[in-house]
Amino acid sequence: MKESEAGQGDRNCDEDRVMKPQQASAVSTTANTAVGPADLQKVGHYMAKLGVRGLPRNYQLFHEALYGADRSMSNEIAMLGTHPSQAMLDEIGLKFRLVSHCGLVAEKSQADTAKMLRDVAEQLSEGLKRKQNFVHTVETVTQSVNEDPMQSLAAFSAEMDFLNASLTNLMLYETELTERLKDEMEKIDTLERGNAAIRSAAATDRVTGLPNQIAMINQLTELYETDSAQGIALIMVDIDDFRAFNAKFGPQAANTLLKKLGQLFRKSIKKNDLVVRMPGDDFCFLVTDVNTDGARAIAARLRASVEETLIYASSDKNDPGCLTISAGIALSVDASSAAQLMAHAEAALVSAQTNRRRPVQLFMSSARN
């Protein structure tokens, strides 16, 4: 979205508050991730035409290629021709950091780590054998000296030379083993850093840069498993009429809008709280150390902030050019699990969406909002 041009619209706003939606030719699943049966049918038909196996990760790959905003993915797949190998398809999925493909790298990393650990165990076992052989050599020489204390100097010198050679060989092997073990540990550290990067990418929304649903579920689950889910509020936010906005102005404008919302929301929460981009046009806020009144105040402040800040230029007189949001609030005191807390927040959001006069609603166990 570009800044509002002079003379367009009746608003006199700051530049960072005015956005002008532009039409875009590409269809984006990042702005609206809902996948309909027709989309899946087209994806499946295209995959069958190219001779691609109907694996779940292939469906996501081809859906992103056909409907995603990044056209380079589609071009790379087209270059593979018909009957592309699964390895080539997986390489593209990994390159574009698709969530469905991140597990492939994790599995390979685990296999590589296991192999390196087996190699380390074999090397340590070989080192132990060499040490045992050296001990046996020392015992043999000691026994020989004890049995024949009057042996010639030449014989004694030969045994000492043999013992010294055995020690030298052992020290050389130990030095090489230390270097090999150091290299293996560096490889394992590299794999772990790669896995950490993959986990981070899998839990990050590609449009807004915010954590995604995976990150929120992981944190919520951890809070409940460690009995730390006390004084927590989950606020689920939906952009009103976002589908109409996306259809009217195009996915490029919609994605830009989502980015601006992400930036605004990130600044609107405390450092230790979490804001995530959910599928489609939903956002979630995981707020700690808050009660009912505090959660309501936060949701109301978010709504006011969006209405006051995100204004876009429109030539349509029936379009006010302002965004509004609906919010559903759920409290951990009413939920015994992470899944239940999310279900409560979603139920409250649905109530808020169907009653524009009460755009912020709280789920209560007594069914009283």
Dump the DSSP string for 40-65.
HHHHHHHHHHHT----HHHHHHHHHH
pLDDT in tens, 283-317: 999 999 999 999 999 999 999 999 888 766 555 55
List strand residue ranges (DSSP E) for 211-359, in order.
Answer: 233-239, 274-277, 282-287, 311-312, 325-331
| Pairing relationship of beta strands 282-287 and 233-239 according to DSSP bridges | antiparallel
Cβ(205)–Cβ(97) below 8 Å: no
pLDDT band (50, 70, 90) for residue 233: very high
pLDDT band (50, 70, 90) for residue 107: low
Looking up tokens 């083993």 gives 177
Cβ(191)–Cβ(112) below 8 Å: yes
> What integer pLDDT is reported at residue 99 of this predicted model?
64
Neighbouring C-beta atoms of residue 304, cutoff 10 Å:
11
> For the chain, which residues make up each domain, given as ranges?
32-97, 121-202, 213-362
pLDDT in tens, 29-45: 333 344 455 677 888 88
Task: Give the pLDDT mean for 327-349.
Answer: 92
* Candidate from 120-124, 152-156, 164-168 with smallest mean pLDDT: 152-156
Say which residue, 235 or 222, is predicted with more confidence: 235
Instruction: Give the span between the Cα atoms of 300 and 304, in whole angstroms.
Output: 6
Q: Which DSSP category does 5 fall into? A: P
Which pair of tokens denotes residue 277? 């981009």
Closest CA to 4 of 318, 310, 267: 310
Q: Tell which CATH architecture fits domain 213-362.
A: 2-Layer Sandwich (3.30)
Instruction: Give the span between the Cα atoms of 10 and 1, in whole angstroms.
Output: 18
Say which residue, 3 or 56, is predicted with more confidence: 56
Percent of the chain with pLDDT over 90: 20
Average pLDDT, the chain: 78
Task: Give the pLDDT mean for 140-161.
Answer: 79
Neighbouring C-beta atoms of residue 299, cutoff 10 Å:
27
Instruction: Give the span between the Cα atoms of 186 and 193, in whole angstroms.
Output: 11
Instruction: Give the span between the Cα atoms of 42 and 39, in whole angstroms.
Output: 5
DSSP 65-87: HHHSS-HHHHHHHHHH-SS--HH
Neighbouring C-beta atoms of residue 158, cutoff 10 Å:
12
